[in-house]
Amino acid sequence: MQKTVFITGASRGIGKAAALKFAKENYNVVINCIKNTQMLEDVKNEVEAYGASCLALSGNVGDYKQAQEMFREIERIFPGIDILINNAGISHIGLLSDTSITQWNDVIESNLTSVFNCSKLALPYMIQRKKGRIINISSIWGVTGASCEVAYSTSKGGINAFTKALAKELAPSNILVNAIACGVVDTDMNQQLTADERAKLMAEIPAGRFATANETANFIYTLSTGNNYLTGQVIQFDGGWL
């Protein structure tokens, strides 16, 4: 039976690259974003150009009711989700003293609550089949913390703990849960950096460059389909930076 992958935050960047990678590998692909609906439709068209079936869902996976509706739509078309890629997320840069409660809640909901919502809703099908993969896209700032990114670092640190705990819970059901703690990936999220800031940041990374969205997607695919014993890991994908 053809397998189905659900990728949140897939209108651009890592999520888009992952969608195209799974399409090339003949998966049914479900993609989501919260507001870039035309970009999401463009990704859908690219996915279908590879001959893959694609369902594009607009909505906030950080809102449980909206996430429920998305999963009802998924299950109307496909049996369920075999691989879940929790990629949706936003960043916020600023001092904690200047961060509003609304900004804090937005980051936690988008980055962390969405992981809870989608994982919980994907599990019944996986548990029934005694098989499944959940990949959470985290950050090195969830490991070490970043000044002026307290909300973002907290959300990613929560994802790391969530990954380790859920992996233990689901291992008896043969469901693997891992996280990728990304360093700097050359996506739109980092376009606010000036040329000088980019050069200085690259100089700190032993690999001497940022990761590309495509090589990140290739690693997501490898982790989603490879070793059947690897679970509960937060794997740093940072070019040796930390």
- Which residues are catalytically annotated? 152
Nearby residues of 152 by Cβ (< 8 Å), 6 or more positions away: 91, 92, 93, 107, 111, 139, 141, 146
Nearby residues of 104 by Cβ (< 8 Å), 6 or more positions away: 151
In angstroms, rounded to a whole number, what is the distance separating the alpha carbons of residues 61 and 43?
18
Tokens of 110: 């988008």
In angstroms, rounded to a whole number, what is the distance separating the alpha carbons of residues 132 and 83?
6
Tokens of 200: 């200085």
In angstroms, rounded to a whole number, what is the distance separating the alpha carbons of residues 74 and 68?
10
Q: Which helix (H) or strand (E) holds 54?
A: strand 54-58
In angstroms, rounded to a whole number, what is the distance separating the alpha carbons of residues 169 and 161?
13
Q: Which helix (H) or strand (E) holds 138?
A: strand 132-139
Burial of 9 per CB tally in 10 Å (0-12, 13-18, 19+): buried
